[in-house]
Amino acid sequence: MEELEDHLHQLETSLPKELWMGAFPIFLYQNYWCPFRRLKPSILFQTQFEAFDTDIILASLPKTGTTWLKSLLYTIVNRNIYSDFNKHPLHSENAHKFVPHFEYTVYVNTSDETLPNLAKLSPPRLFATHITYFSLPKSIKSSKSRIIYVCRNPLDTFISSWHFYPQVDLHNNNEQDHNMIEEHFGMFCEGKFPFGPYDDHVLGYWKESVQNPNKLLFMEYEGLKEDPKAHVKKLAEFVGYPFSEQEENKGIIDDIIKLCSLESLKEMDVNKNGSYYGFFENKALFRKGEVGDWTNYLSPTIVKNFDQNILEKFKASGFSS
């Protein structure tokens, strides 16, 4: 334990540091910008987590649709246990409770001496992470556990973050300073935001999905919005819970989509009044959910360079979805 604390102290004093949105310290750790408070849990996750073949892990950058995917995943996998969607657990708890994040909850308030007993959880264990593919624990990569990655247009991701972060730590300050948007966007473009850079994060997972499609399912927020039925079917098949013909005929896919829609989740009492472990109010997780909302905030001139850079990097790596 002392060793870990010493190591952390050493990292804190030596790693490059930036301030995201003027308030949140982030450290460049293993080539991604790790929020200060996530450093210790991320290291514990990396060094202590033992994956099972039955595990399902959702990976994403923040603000790319994580809550949506968690809700869908949990509902799909548990649909035989919770078949009455009017009394579904999502009505009383946010999906983040059912699909816990390694670095936000699972390994928080623990040390290498008081690790959580994850072995007792019944399979399939559902977890989530924001860390890069490169930094995932070895046992996730070497086991037969499955990974789902959700990616979103970077500009919409930025705008979503820009609205979200002032509400973290229950600041309740919904009003962002519009004069600062270019400065924050500049940092985003340089990759200096929680778990950035964007391209490294997306391409790391995308490459693995190409090399190992049975291991990693690469999904896009925009695709899921455009054709939820096809994507939900694919997700269910990938995690080993395909829909039977009978289920399809009964309209269960539509019911799942409806239960997990932004409109439905937003109206649930737990999301109107609850909070995420005291960090922010659950309602901050549900805003507009629109594709292309960035055009309401960023001018084409501002995004031009970033767009070109990202496109070139993606093209050079052969990215196509």
Q: By the 8 A CB rule, do 48 and 207 touch?
A: no
Stretch touching ligand A3P by CB under 6 A, among 82-90, 118-126, 195-203, 285-293? 285-293
User: To 10 degrees, the CA torsion angle through 102, 256, 239, 287?
Assistant: -40
In the list 26, 32, 42, 67, the residue contacting ligand A3P (rule: CB under 6 A) is 67
In the list 55, 103, 156, 220, the residue contacting ligand A3P (rule: CB under 6 A) is 156
Q: Examine residue 287 and tell whether it contacts ligand A3P (CB under 6 A).
A: yes
For ligand A3P, give the closer residue by CB, 48 or 293.
Answer: 293
- Contact pattern for ligand A3P over residues 158 through 187, marking x by CB under 6 A: --x--x------------------------
For ligand A3P, give the closer residue by CB, 141 or 283.
Answer: 283
Q: Examine residue 41 and tell whether it contacts ligand A3P (CB under 6 A).
A: no
For ligand A3P, give the closer residue by CB, 141 or 233.
Answer: 233
Q: Examine residue 193 and tell whether it contacts ligand A3P (CB under 6 A).
A: no
Q: Examine residue 94 and tell whether it contacts ligand A3P (CB under 6 A).
A: no
Q: Which residues are catalytic?
A: 130
For ligand A3P, give the closer residue by CB, 54 or 290.
Answer: 290
Q: Distance between alpha carbon 177 and the CA centroid of its chain, in Å?
A: 25
Helix (H, G, I), strand (E, B) or coil at 34: strand
d(CA 245, CA 80): 15
Q: Examine residue 129 and tell whether it contacts ligand A3P (CB under 6 A).
A: no
For ligand A3P, give the closer residue by CB, 137 or 228.
Answer: 228
How many alpha carbons fall within 13 Å on the CB side of residue 256? 30
* Residues sharing a CB contact under 8 Å with residue 199, sequence separation 6 or more, in sequence order: 191, 310, 313, 314
Q: Examine residue 88 and tell whether it contacts ligand A3P (CB under 6 A).
A: no
Q: By the 8 A CB rule, do 303 and 181 touch?
A: no
Q: Distance between alpha carbon 178 and the CA centroid of its chain, in Å?
A: 26
Detail the DSSP E strand segments found in the chain.
17-20, 24-29, 32-35, 56-60, 126-129, 146-151, 216-220, 275-276, 280-281
In the list 111, 261, 275, 317, the residue contacting ligand A3P (rule: CB under 6 A) is 261
Least spacing, CB of residue 44 vs ligand A3P, in Å: 22
Q: Examine residue 59 and tell whether it contacts ligand A3P (CB under 6 A).
A: no
* Residues sharing a CB contact under 8 Å with residue 158, sequence separation 6 or more, in sequence order: 184, 185, 188, 193, 294, 298
Say how many C-beta atoms besides its own lie within 10 A of residue 71's C-beta.
24
Q: Examine residue 220 and tell whether it contacts ligand A3P (CB under 6 A).
A: no
Contact set with ligand A3P (CB under 6 A):
60, 62-68, 156, 160, 163, 260-262, 265, 285-289, 293
